[in-house]
Amino acid sequence: MTNILIFIIAILVIATLVQIVRVSELLSEIKNKDVNEVTDKDNNTQGLLFLVVGFGFLIFVIWQMITWNHLLLPPASSVHGTQIDLLMKVSMGLIIVVFFITSPLLFYFAFKYRGKKSNNAYFLSHNNKLEVVWTVIPTIILTGLIIFGLKTWDNAMNVQVTESTKLIEVYAKQYNWTARYSGLDNKLGKANYKLVKGKNTLGVDMLDINSADDKMAREVHLVVNEPVLLKFRSQDVIHSAFLPHFRVQMNCVPGITTQFGFTPNKTTAQMKESEGEDFEYVLLCNKICGASHFNMQMKFIVETQEEYDIWIASQENLEKKLLTQK
């Protein structure tokens, strides 16, 4: 009801302003004045309004930054996450500095150099020094940001798989996630969507020797400060695996296996101490994938090696879960 009232009031205010402008035009016509003639008074009024509205907008932007800054990104909980955050801070810092230098000047100069009948416009064809300054400086800054970004992206994407790198497949389908862990051999068995049948919801090829000791789970457990390589598959539509605290996002595309590697550096218990007891690492889908898109959530738990060993030992091998492969 409140929103309806606000909407009605806004419409009435706009209608009132339109009527005021119309009445002003009619009065000018009665006084035999050219309503299209722009006077110094008009320029003064418009210049002052531009100055007030412009600086009001800057104040509004500052208020927004102070009020909503905490919602930009949650605390980073991965090694590469700190690098991404640094890139974000540098990029946003440069944008903010340029914005708060150029915007006030724009509003001020629009007011200072407003039209006056006594003033003549000055024509400047070009200035070589200015051309060099506003071309070279942005080029250098943008080149630096691009190189910084590419190195950060390369470090995050080109994961060196070693014996200590845990391989986990994350399988997406409408509307849930399923995890498949590599066994003691640290090799995931082959999978094919044509093999999806009955209990074999992931289409794992049980004729592949590497599939026997794989484990399937509805939540993901990770060891703190140990690298992990997530491999993503999708059964139906394009999903987007999103782990905001780990600074991980990767599309899950039907028919294609994508991957993202990272090293978590904060346990769930540590995050609960700083963020509250209700905190959980959660895998989300960042693409609207259907009517129950909101159900695309899966818990991630970061723990010590001892805790992980106890949990993984309690999980059944796929060979036991899938008694037959037809």
Q: In angstroms, rounded to a whole number, what is the distance separating the alpha carbons of residues 168 and 246?
A: 15
CA angle 309, 280, 289 (to 5 degrees): 105
| pLDDT at residue 199 in the model | 78
In tens, the pLDDT along 37-75 reads 777 787 888 888 888 988 999 999 999 988 988 888 888
**CA 304 → CA 93, 168, 221, 260, distances in Å?**
36, 17, 10, 22
pLDDT value at residue 326: 47
Q: How does pLDDT run across 290-312, given as a tens digit for each residue? A: 899 989 999 999 999 999 999 99
Measure the CA–CA gap between 153 and 158, rounded to whole angstroms: 8
- DSSP result, 208-257: SGGGTT-EEESSEEEETTS-EEEEEEESSS-EEEEEGGGTEEEEE-TT--
**pLDDT < 50: residue spans in the chain:** 324-326
Q: Which pLDDT value is given to residue 323?
A: 56
Residue ranges of domains in the chain: 1-37, 39-116+123-157, 166-321
Tokens of 113: 């150099």
Assign domain 166-321 one CATH number from 1.20.58.100, 3.90.550.10, 2.30.110.10, 2.60.40.420: 2.60.40.420
